[in-house]
Structure 1
């Protein structure tokens, strides 16, 4: 699958990566690659849902709605609120991807960001300025994390 990207400085949510409290340093900014709506749709349809546009619309048949998908739930909000930039331990302990592994942070069908696992780990708080039920997935690995607005996350293996 060939993907197309939009420049980070033209991305509608670019403020999340330039926030005065958590700015992404210049060397990491090229690693945060918002997909064009068409490429986001391709990623979403292939690895998230070919029926629904947003996580709050998932329905029967979507892997994210199956109870067998999710192995553990834990809180992410306390780690996000802390001064420590480390990922929540439950997420860090579950995912063992190489730092250069490609990951997708999926907000909804037309809003997906590609980055590396290492970049996501360093700047995960920026990605979660928008916590409207996003999913973290990899095209190469089955592990997935679903971040919920209530400050909890589910970790498991996508179908």
Structure 2
């Protein structure tokens, strides 16, 4: 006499296993898809931080140089600018009105003195396509 096992103890069919794998794959895809975009955000954030740090270093270098009145008058910096960096200077009155714009002089000698009481320094840095701009007002020493 043949006894059939009840359906509950007979195990899983191949179709049921395949459906289970398909469902797990869909759930994994839904969970992991946003994670890949987070990796892209992390890369962009690192580039932005790098560009901002470089701009801050350039700006602090200029401010440090300009503690010497002669270097302030010459509108120059003693350290060369890193690649991808540009500096724009705006002369200001004590009230903050812009009276003119100029670039940073490459040499600290032989330039006509600029006796502006305040200058706005704008440092723009581009690193791997990511741009950072920092501005600071620097008073005459």
Larger helix share, 1 or 2: 2
Question: Given the two structures, how large is their TM-score scaled by the length of structure 2?
Answer: 0.30
State the TM-score, normalized to the length of structure 1: 0.28
Larger radius of gyration: 2
